[in-house]
Amino acid sequence: MSEIAAPLRRSEQLGEEIEERIVTGQYRPGMRLDEQDLADEFGVSRTPVREALIHLASAGMIEMRPRRGAIVAQASPTRLCEMFEVMAELEAMCGRLAARRITPAEQAELLDAHRACEVARDANDPDAYYHLNEVFHQRIYQASHNSFLAEQADALHRRLRPYRRLQLRVRNRMKTSYSEHQAIVDSILSGDGEGAADKLQRHVVVQGERFADLVASLSALQVQNPA
């Protein structure tokens, strides 16, 4: 059975729209996000807006400040690179443990998630691939059977969500990502912990050309969306 993403709640939909606007520069670092203004803009009550802002604050995308409300957090390219380095190490640990501990049922779930990503890749749908890619990585976290590690990996993954989405829009990145997934799956299913760790680390870390692509994408989007 193919993996099917569950429908998003209204607050989750708002959260994704707001974080997308943050990463594309429409909502610039330091900008105040007013609950009522957002509610009016999206045609909803303040309740789902407030829930979305609380979620984004927990993910580090915004800061909740006394008397100022929600403020878009600042993250420099260097800071993003540092976070991706940590993310890569957490994922490597998950992959190493998953290769040793994954159950037959979890193997089937990982393969389902991988095949779902293939469908999105073939459809050239980066947004669908982004959501299904999250499911794929979640399957690896769960298969590590280390709940603390999975919680830490999930928390940082959420913090980097909009930037991982942005990366998928770089030319050929979706196709390359899927090929990297295949190598990761092969290592995990064969019980090769070190191979899985190495492939996941290289899959996630942002260095060299990938770092340059990320910086260029951020810069280009800021030019398209001036303050």
Of 138, 140, 119, residue with least CA distance to 128: 119
Predicted confidence (pLDDT) per residue in 129-179, tens digit = 988 999 999 999 999 999 999 999 998 988 887 778 777 777 788 999 999
Q: What is the pLDDT of residue 219?
A: 62
Look-up: residue for tokens 């976070």? 83
| Structural domain 10-72, CATH architecture | Orthogonal Bundle (1.10)
Give whole-number Cα distances, 39 to 58, 124, 143, in Å.
Answer: 20, 32, 39
Q: What is the pLDDT of residue 227?
A: 46
Give the CATH number of domain 77-224; options: 2.20.25.10, 1.20.120.530, 2.40.50.140, 2.40.70.10.
Answer: 1.20.120.530
Q: Give me the chain's average pLDDT, please.
A: 87
Cα atoms found within 13 Å of the Cα of residue 24, Cβ hemisphere only = 11
Q: Which residue has the higher pLDDT, 24 or 93?
A: 93
Cα atoms found within 13 Å of the Cα of residue 143, Cβ hemisphere only = 32
- What letter does residue 82 receive in the DSSP assignment? H
Q: How confident is the model at residue 36 (pLDDT cuts 50, 70, 90)?
A: very high
Of 88, 86, 62, 58, residue with least CA distance to 75: 62
Q: How confident is the model at residue 49 (pLDDT cuts 50, 70, 90)?
A: very high
Furthest-apart CA atoms within the chain: distance in Å:
55
User: Which residues 6+ apart lie within 8 Å of 223 measured at CB?
Assistant: none
Delimit the domains of the chain by residue range.
10-72, 77-224
